[in-house]
Chains A and B, each alone.
Chain A
Amino acid sequence: MRWSIEHKETWLHETNPTVKLLLFLPMFIVIVFVHNPNVLINWTIGFTALFMSFSGYRMKHMLLFFVPFFFIFISTSLSMILFGKGETTWFRFGLIHVTEESFYRGVHLGFRTLLFAIFGLMFALTTKPVFLFYSLMQQAKLKPKYAYSFLAAIRLLPIMLEEFQTVHQALKVRRAAKAKGFRGKLELIKRYAIPLLSQSIRRAQRIAVAMEAKGFTNERARTFYYELTLGKYDVYLFVVICMIVAMGYYVADAFPYVPIKDVR
C-alpha cells in the first residue's frame, strides 16, 4: 500500500523539525488571542501563499487536502452567523437571526480554523516522522525510549489498515459485516476491534522484545544515523513568519477589509 504522496523537497522540508514545532505551536496560541478579523484574513492569505509555494506538493493535492477544512470553515462560520447574538439585525426568519456582529464573528472564527488547518498541514506535509523524532532526541533531549516507541507505533498503522480490510472481507463472507439496531452495531464494533487490537497488542509486545534483543537499552550513549542541526533555513522560516505576522498587522491597520477591529 502506498502512503506517501508524490512531492518535491523544498527548503521547508530542510528546516529543523523541532524549530518548526517551536515556531508553529506559539502561533496556535497567538491566533486565539487575535480579535481583529482583518489581521486574521491577512495572515490566512500570507500563510496560504507560503504553504502553496513551498510545500512541494502538486496544486491538485493541496486543494484536495483543503476540502475537509473548507467544510469546517463553512460550518463553523455559518453556525455563528445564523444563530449568533447582536444588535444590528440584517435578517430574521424564525430561529435564524443574522446580525452584523454575528456575521463578523462567524467569519473571524472561520478564518481562525482555516489558519489552524494551514499550520497543521504545513507541519505534517513537510516533516518526516523519523526526522521529527531524531530532531526531538538531538535538539529537545527527548528520551530515546519514547522516540523509538513512537516510530515503532507509526510502522504499525499501515499494517493495521491492511488487517482492517482483511477483517472486513472475512466478516463479509460470513455475513457478519452488517448488523441492525444499537446492540447489533455495538456487537459489530467489537467484531472489528477485537481481532485488530489483539493482533496489534501481540505485535507491539514482540517488537518491544525484538528491540531490546537488538541492544536497545537506556544504559549506553547512542550515536545517531541522521544528524539534525540548525541551519540557514530555520532562520528563513523565522524571518518569513515574523514578516507575515507584522505585515498582517500593518495592512489590517492601513487597508481594512471590514470596519470592525474587535469582534468580541
Chain B
Amino acid sequence: MIHIEQLRLKFPGAEKRLFTDVSLSIKKGEKVLLLGPSGCGKSTLLQVMAGIIPRSIDVPMKAKALHIPKQVGYVFQDPDAQFCMPYVDEEIAFVLENLGVPRAEMKEKIERVLQRVRLRLPHVHVPIQTLSGGMKQRLAIASVLALDPDVLFLDEPTALLDEEGTKAVWETLKEVADDRTVVIVEHKIDHILDFVERIILFNECGEMIADGPTDHIFSTYRSFIAEQGIWYPEVWEMYEKPKTAQQPYHPSDVLLHVQSLRGFRQKEEKITVDDVVIRAGEWIAVTGENGAGKSTLLQSFMKLIRTEGDMYWRGELVKNDGVLYDNIAFVFQNPEFQFVTNRVDDELAYCLRLEKRSEYEIEEEVERLLRRFHLSAQRHLHPYQLSMGQKRRLSVAASVTERHRILLLDEPTFGQDAKNTFALLEWLEAYRQQGKAIVMVTHDERIVSQFATRRWIIENGKLVADETIVPRTLVRGGI
C-alpha cells in the first residue's frame, strides 16, 4: 500500500536533516501507530505518506522509491482549522463537489457519511461553529469518508479534545476503519492500543529505532516510551507524586469569600455560585461537562465578565477590581494570548516592572524564575518560538508573582505531554505549600484524585457540589 525507501528530507533553514534514509512499508489493511517525542518528525512523515508534502507544503525531499496511495483521507489536529464552509452540509458537499459528484446524489451521500460517524444533528444545515470540539472532529472524519479513501491518516486527531470527545472520536474511527489502512500519530494512546497492531518508534533525531507488533514494542521499550513523555496507559501508576500532595495546610485562613455571585454573558446569566470560600493552601479542582460554565466561573472571580454579587478579600468587601488583579493570578488555556513582550526574560520581568521594583531586584528574580522553570537557555527567544511545554511554563511563571495568593488556571495541562504535565503539577504543589490557593479547571480525573484537596462540580451554570477530597493513601493507611 505504502512503500518508502531511503527518504531524505530537510526543512529549508533547518540546521540538520529531519530524515536520513528512512525506509518503511505498510501493508493494506494495517493499523499502524507512529510514536516518538515531539519534534521527531512523525507528522512530517505522515504528510509525506499522504502526499501533502510536497504537493501542498513544498519541502525539499528525495527518496529512492516512493509509492503512496491515491485515495487518502487526512484528519488534522485542530478542529477549527480544517473547514472552509460555514455549515455542516456545505462542508461535506465541498468534498463531493471536488470529486465531481452530481448534485442530485449529494443530499443522500451527506446524510450517509454523517450517520457513519454518528453525528446526530437536528438537520444537516447546522453551523459548524455551534458544534463541540469532538463533534467537529467527527465532522472532519465524515468529510474524509466522503472521499472514500483507501488509507486514513490521523494526525493527533484528539490532541485538542477533552476526555469525552477523545473517546467518541476514537470509537467513531474504529467503527469506520473497517479494512482500510490506518496510520496514526498520537500522544494520548490509552484509547488506541487495542486498535493498532503495529508501532513504529522514533527517537528525537528522526531515526526509526523499533518497528513491530504493539505488545512487543510496549514490553521491550517501556522505559524509552516513558522517558519521551508519552501518555501510555500505566503512566499514572508508574508516577510517584510529591509526598506533600493533598496534605492539609495550616493555617488555612479564608482568602476569598464569594456570596451569591452571578456571571453574565450578553445579558444571559451563565454561572451562579451561592456561597463559597477559598482558603490558603487549597487545591480546588473545577470539573463538569463541556459548556457547563467552568471557565466562566474563573472569569467571574476576576470580574472579567459582568458580575453581580459580593466578594470579600480576606474579610473585606471588594470595591475595586484592582484588589482582585493584585491578589489573584490567572493562567489562560492558550499561553500565547498572555504574552506581552518579545523576549522570554522581558516577559518574566514585565509584572515585576509594573510593581516598580529596582532593576537589580528584578534581574535577580528573573534569573531565579528562569532556573526554576528551566528556561535559562531560551531567555533570548521570542515567546512564540518556544515549544508547547515551554510556552506553558513561561505563561505560568510570568503570570504569578509573590504577592498573588490565589492562582486560577483554565485547563493548564491541556495538550501537554506526560512529562510537562507532571512537571507543572509538581510546581503547583510546591506553590500550594507556600500557603497559596489553586483553583484549576480540569477534565483529568487523575489530577483530581491525586492532587486536589477539594472538588467543585459545575452543572448547567451552577456550582452544584463542593466536596473535600480525602487522599486515598491515608484511607488505606487505616485511620
Is B96 among interface residues, defined by CB-CB distance under 8 A? yes
B148: min CB distance to chain A, Å: 11
Is B141 among interface residues, defined by CB-CB distance under 8 A? no
Among A20-28, A214-222, A244-252, the stretch in contact with B:
A214-222
B84 touches A222 (CB 8 A): no
Question: What residue in chain B is nearest A2 (Cβ atoms)?
Answer: B266
Among B251-259, B326-334, B427-435, the stretch in contact with A:
B326-334
Question: Which one of B94, B144, B329 lies within 8 Å of A216 (CB-CB)?
Answer: B94
Is A130 among interface residues, defined by CB-CB distance under 8 A? yes
Per-residue interface assignment for chain A, residues 204 to 215, with 1 indicating a CB less than 8 Å from any chain B CB and 0 otherwise: 001111111111
A-B contact count (CB 8 A): 137
Among B48-56, B166-174, B182-190, B200-208, the stretch in contact with A:
B48-56
Question: What residue in chain B is nearest A216 (Cβ atoms)?
Answer: B98
Is A171 among interface residues, defined by CB-CB distance under 8 A? yes
Question: What residue in chain A is nearest B303 (Cβ atoms)?
Answer: A172
B295: min CB distance to chain A, Å: 10
Per-residue interface assignment for chain A, residues 158 to 189, with 1 indicating a CB less than 8 Å from any chain B CB and 0 otherwise: 11000100110111111110000000000000
A166: min CB distance to chain B, Å: 5
B306: min CB distance to chain A, Å: 13
B338 touches A207 (CB 8 A): no
Q: How far is the CA of A118 from the CA of B72 in the complex (A)?
A: 49
Q: How large is the interface on B (under 10, 10 to 19, 20 to 34, 35 or more residues)?
A: 35 or more
Is B218 among interface residues, defined by CB-CB distance under 8 A? no
Q: How far is the CA of A77 from the CA of B89 in the complex (A)?
A: 48
B302 touches A159 (CB 8 A): no
A209 touches B100 (CB 8 A): no
A169 touches B299 (CB 8 A): yes
Is A61 among interface residues, defined by CB-CB distance under 8 A? no
Question: Which one of A175, A208, A215 lies within 8 Å of B95 (CB-CB)?
Answer: A215
A130 touches B90 (CB 8 A): yes
Among B74-82, B283-291, B307-315, the stretch in contact with A:
B74-82
Report chain B residues within 8 Å CB of A211.
Answer: 84, 94
Report chain B residues within 8 Å CB of A163.
Answer: 337
A221: min CB distance to chain B, Å: 6
Q: Which of B68-106 contact A (CB under 8 A)?
A: 72, 74, 76, 78, 80-87, 89-90, 93-103, 106
B98 touches A173 (CB 8 A): no
Is B246 among interface residues, defined by CB-CB distance under 8 A? no
Q: How far is the CA of A198 from the CA of B383 in the complex (A)?
A: 12
Q: How far is the CA of A224 from the CA of B100 in the complex (A)?
A: 8
Given contacts A198-B336, A203-B80, A214-B147, contact A224 B325 (CB under 8 A): no
Question: Which one of B76, B96, B299, B339 lies within 8 Å of A225 (CB-CB)?
Answer: B96
Question: What residue in chain B is nearest A176 (Cβ atoms)?
Answer: B340
Q: How far is the CA of A167 from the CA of B399 in the complex (A)?
A: 14
Question: What residue in chain B is nearest A4 (Cβ atoms)?
Answer: B127
A155 touches B337 (CB 8 A): no
Is A148 among interface residues, defined by CB-CB distance under 8 A? yes
A154 touches B86 (CB 8 A): yes
Chain B, interface SS category: helix
Given contacts A195-B339, A213-B52, contact A223 B78 (CB under 8 A): no
Is B350 among interface residues, defined by CB-CB distance under 8 A? yes
Is B384 among interface residues, defined by CB-CB distance under 8 A? yes
Question: Which one of B99, B147, B334, B398 lies within 8 Å of A166 (CB-CB)?
Answer: B334
A130 touches B86 (CB 8 A): yes
B103 touches A224 (CB 8 A): yes
Question: What residue in chain B is nearest A150 (Cβ atoms)?
Answer: B84
Chain A, interface SS category: helix
A203 touches B81 (CB 8 A): yes
B97: min CB distance to chain A, Å: 5
Query: Among the interface residues A158, A159, A213, A214, which one has the most CB atoms of the partner chain B within 10 A?
Result: A214
Q: How far is the CA of A227 from the CA of B96 in the complex (A)?
A: 14
A207 touches B50 (CB 8 A): no
Query: Among the interface residues B50, B96, B128, B350, which one has the most CB atoms of the partner chain A within 10 A?
Result: B96
Q: How far is the CA of A210 from the CA of B332 in the complex (A)?
A: 28
Given contacts A130-B90, A167-B337, A174-B351, contact A220 B83 (CB under 8 A): no
Q: Which of A125-144 contact B (CB under 8 A)?
A: 129-130
Is A53 among interface residues, defined by CB-CB distance under 8 A? no
B96 touches A221 (CB 8 A): no
Q: How far is the CA of A221 from the CA of B340 in the complex (A)?
A: 48
B82 touches A173 (CB 8 A): no
Given contacts A166-B337, A213-B56, A223-B103, contact A207 B82 (CB under 8 A): yes
Report chain B residues within 8 Å CB of A215.
Answer: 95, 98-99, 147
Q: How far is the CA of A176 from the CA of B370 in the complex (A)?
A: 22
Q: How far is the CA of A129 from the CA of B72 in the complex (A)?
A: 30
A35: min CB distance to chain B, Å: 43
Report chain B residues within 8 Å CB of A223.
Answer: 96-97, 100-103, 106
A173 touches B329 (CB 8 A): yes
A203 touches B147 (CB 8 A): no
Q: How far is the CA of A91 from the CA of B21 in the complex (A)?
A: 88
Question: Which one of A158, A170, A176, A217 lies within 8 Å of B350 (CB-CB)?
Answer: A176
A169 touches B304 (CB 8 A): yes
B83 touches A199 (CB 8 A): no
B21: min CB distance to chain A, Å: 26
Q: How far is the CA of A130 from the CA of B337 in the complex (A)?
A: 31
Q: How far is the CA of A87 from the CA of B82 in the complex (A)?
A: 65
Report chain A residues within 8 Å CB of B56.
Answer: 208-209, 212-213
Q: How far is the CA of A222 from the CA of B90 in the complex (A)?
A: 14
Is B14 among interface residues, defined by CB-CB distance under 8 A? no
Known contacts A173-B332, A223-B101, A225-B103; 7 further A-B pairs (Cβ under 8 A): A1-B129, A167-B337, A173-B325, A207-B83, A214-B94, A214-B143, A220-B99
List the 5 closest pairs (A to B, CB-CB), nearest first: A225-B93, A206-B81, A152-B84, A215-B98, A210-B82
**Can you list 12 pairs linking A and B with CB atoms under 8 Å apart?**
A173-B304, A174-B350, A174-B398, A174-B399, A175-B325, A175-B351, A203-B80, A209-B56, A213-B50, A216-B98, A220-B98, A223-B100
